């Protein structure tokens, strides 16, 4: 009887997780449709938001789930953007899906390189290494102007119609739909990864790497694999940004973008893919609204929002709400 009860409880738990996943995908698609209807003339911002959401999701993999401190994650985003842009401009690979494959590969390779360097240290030295890497990537892209366009940016990216039918028009409709589909697919795959035995291993490394090593597993190898996956996700975001804007600039490799992505993650809540999406949406919408309302002092209002969230919702917006909901469910039983 106890075995049957355990099996039933396990099945119910899996059912609840599957239900949350489906609910999450439904929310993403619902917000996408709502955004399309409410802001048909501002799809460029929504597409940019989708690309940055992929960056923040990739950051959550290494920081929220693995506990790796980094302030240079834009190196993976920019590597994906430049890989797809160079493939289009210099090698004539203008099919959007092939460009996406090039960007994912470029981001994964950058993730491998960054992982090899950053994972040699722990704690604050990791932050120093990550900051050094983002500046090195930035300067390399600036100096390799024959390939990257340097400070002028890599222009001339002209992707072919998606699947041969859907052109990337001036209004950005095709890029927006591509971004939403890409975000939904990546989100579903990442949910599977973080709940898999590999994902549980990475969480264990974050909590107690010594115990994981004593169990016979390699914490460094697990973190390296997650870094490559994170790079692939960030590279996909960089490619989406390159396709939608048809130009890649040095700002995609900036320290500012790395810092802002970490702020978005903390704002929504670390260690939760839903939190990463929440933080991205809230931060970018709030930034757009207050910068338009007060072009001179909008950073003050953004700073006040971040201080309020850190002081009164230390687990982030989504993390705090999810915690309150869990406590209410526990009290109701």
Is the model's pLDDT at 313 over the cut of 70?
A: yes
Does residue 226 lie within any of the structural domains?
yes
Does residue 307 lie within any of the structural domains?
no
Angle formed at CA 233 by CA 162 and CA 116, multiple of 5 degrees? 140
Provide the number of structural domains found in the chain. Answer: 1
Q: Are 252 and 82 in contact (CB under 8 A)?
A: yes
pLDDT at position 15 is 57
Is the model's pLDDT at 142 over the cut of 50?
A: yes
3-state SS class at 195: helix
3-state SS class at 269: coil
Residue 153's CB is within 10 A of a number of other CB atoms, namely 17
Record the pTM: 0.90
The least confident of 3-7, 130-134, 138-142, 223-227 is: 3-7
Alpha helices in 144-272 (DSSP H): 145-148, 173-195, 197-207, 209-214, 219-245, 255-268
Q: What percent of the chain has pLDDT above 90?
A: 41
pLDDT at position 330 is 64
Closest by CA position to 118, among listed 97, 138, 134, 102 = 134
Closest by CA position to 233, among listed 113, 89, 73 = 73
Is the model's pLDDT at 125 over the cut of 50?
A: yes
Does residue 314 lie within any of the structural domains?
no
- Structure confidence by residue, pLDDT tens digits, 233-279: 999 999 999 999 888 999 999 999 999 999 999 988 888 888 899 88
DSSP β-bridge partners for residue 248: 154
Average pLDDT over residues 169-174: 80
Does residue 185 or residue 208 have the better pLDDT?
Answer: 185
Q: How far apart, in whole angstroms, are the C-alpha atoms of residue 269 and residue 148?
A: 35
DSSP β-bridge partners for residue 154: 248
The least confident of 50-59, 62-71, 210-219 is: 210-219
Does residue 215 lie within any of the structural domains?
yes
Average pLDDT over residues 8-30: 66
Going by pLDDT thresholds of 50, 70 and 90, the confidence category of residue 333 is: low
Does residue 95 lie within any of the structural domains?
yes
Does residue 264 lie within any of the structural domains?
no
Neighbour-count burial for 106-123, b at 16+ CB within 10 Å, e otherwise = bbbbbbebbbeebbeeee
Average pLDDT over residues 173-193: 91
Does residue 111 or residue 327 have the better pLDDT?
Answer: 111
Is the model's pLDDT at 198 over the cut of 50?
A: yes
Residue 289's CB is within 10 A of a number of other CB atoms, namely 12
Evaluated on CA atoms 169, 155, 250, 93, the torsion sign reads: positive
Does residue 10 lie within any of the structural domains?
no
Is the model's pLDDT at 305 over the cut of 90?
A: no
Which domain does 140 fall in, by range? Answer: 21-254
Q: Kindly state the tokens that stand for 4.
A: 């049957």
The least confident of 8-12, 197-201, 260-264, 286-290 is: 8-12
Does residue 33 lie within any of the structural domains?
yes
CA torsion, ordered 78, 80, 82, 87, to nearest 10 deg: 180
The overall average pLDDT reported for the chain is 85
């Amino acid at each position: 009887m106890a075995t049957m009860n355990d099996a039933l409880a396990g099945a119910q738990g899996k059912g609840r997780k599957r239900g949350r996943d489906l609910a999450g995908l439904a929310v993403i698609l619902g917000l996408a449709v709502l955004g399309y209807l409410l802001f048909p003339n501002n799809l460029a911002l929504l597409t940019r938001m989708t690309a940055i959401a992929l960056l923040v999701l990739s950051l959550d993999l290494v920081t929220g789930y693995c506990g790796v401190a980094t302030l240079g994650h834009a190196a993976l985003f920019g590597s994906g953007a430049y890989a797809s842009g160079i493939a289009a401009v210099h090698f004539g690979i203008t099919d959007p899906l092939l460009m996406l494959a090039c960007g994912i590969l470029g981001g994964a390779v950058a993730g491998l390189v960054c992982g090899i360097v950053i994972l040699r240290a722990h704690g604050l030295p990791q932050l120093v290494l990550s900051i050094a890497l983002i500046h090195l990537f930035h300067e390399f892209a600036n100096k390799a102007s024959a390939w990257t366009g340097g400070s002028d940016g890599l222009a001339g990216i002209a992707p072919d119609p998606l699947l041969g039918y859907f052109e990337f028009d001036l209004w950005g409709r095709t890029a927006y739909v591509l971004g939403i589909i890409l975000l939904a697919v990546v989100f579903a795959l990442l949910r599977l990864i973080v709940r898999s035995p590999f994902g549980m291993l990475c969480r264990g490394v974050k909590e107690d790497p010594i115990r994981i090593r004593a169990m016979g597993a390699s914490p460094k190898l697990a973190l390296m694999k997650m870094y490559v996956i994170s790079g692939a996700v960030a590279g996909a975001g960089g490619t989406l940004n390159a396709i939608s804007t048809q130009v890649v600039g040095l700002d995609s490799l900036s320290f500012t973008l790395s810092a802002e992505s970490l702020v978005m993650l903390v704002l929504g809540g670390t260690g939760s893919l839903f939190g990463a999406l929440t933080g991205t949406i809230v931060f970018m919408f709030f930034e757009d609204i207050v910068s338009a309302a007060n072009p001179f002092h909008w950073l003050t209002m953004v700073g006040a929002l971040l201080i309020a969230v850190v002081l009164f919702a230390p687990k982030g917006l989504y993390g705090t709400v999810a915690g309150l909901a869990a406590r209410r469910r526990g009290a109701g039983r």
